[in-house]
């Protein structure tokens, strides 16, 4: 069974079940309201898909940031210091 983005897909509606639901809706609300219900259902499905996509993108972004932070930090070492004596100090060398 393939995972689907719709929670109603977990119920596993088939052809006969969908026809029965459409007949019940047709009896209760009449044929004039059917296109209006279909538009409303289409908008609801689009909004659900959009919200699910946004949540998935946010989740992926957080995971990617977590992986980025988990990388080993780069250690920057300063260049070695060269110590030179002050100019007024003279070297002591033995005099002959």
> Does residue 89 form part of some domain?
no
Is pLDDT above 50 for 57?
yes
> Does residue 33 form part of some domain?
yes
H or E element at residue 66 = helix 34-70
Mean pLDDT, all residues of the chain: 77
Most distant CA pair in the chain, distance: 125
Closest to 5 (Cα-Cα) out of 37, 52, 50 = 52
> Does residue 80 form part of some domain?
no
> Does residue 48 form part of some domain?
yes
Determine the structural domain holding residue 38 and report its residue range.
7-70
Total count of domains within the chain: 1
Name the residue with higher pLDDT: 48 or 25: 48
Please tell me the predicted confidence (pLDDT) of residue 1: 46
> Does residue 78 form part of some domain?
no
């Amino acid at each position: 069974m393939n995972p689907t983005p719709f929670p109603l897909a977990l119920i596993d509606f088939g052809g006969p079940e969908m026809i029965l639901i459409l007949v019940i809706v047709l009896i209760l609300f009449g044929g004039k309201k059917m296109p209006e219900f279909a538009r409303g259902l289409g908008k609801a499905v689009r909004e659900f898909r959009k919200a699910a996509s946004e949540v998935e993108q946010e989740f992926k972004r957080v995971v990617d940031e977590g992986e980025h932070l988990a990388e080993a930090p780069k250690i920057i070492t300063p260049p070695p210091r060269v110590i030179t004596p002050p100019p007024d100090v003279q070297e002591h060398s033995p005099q002959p």
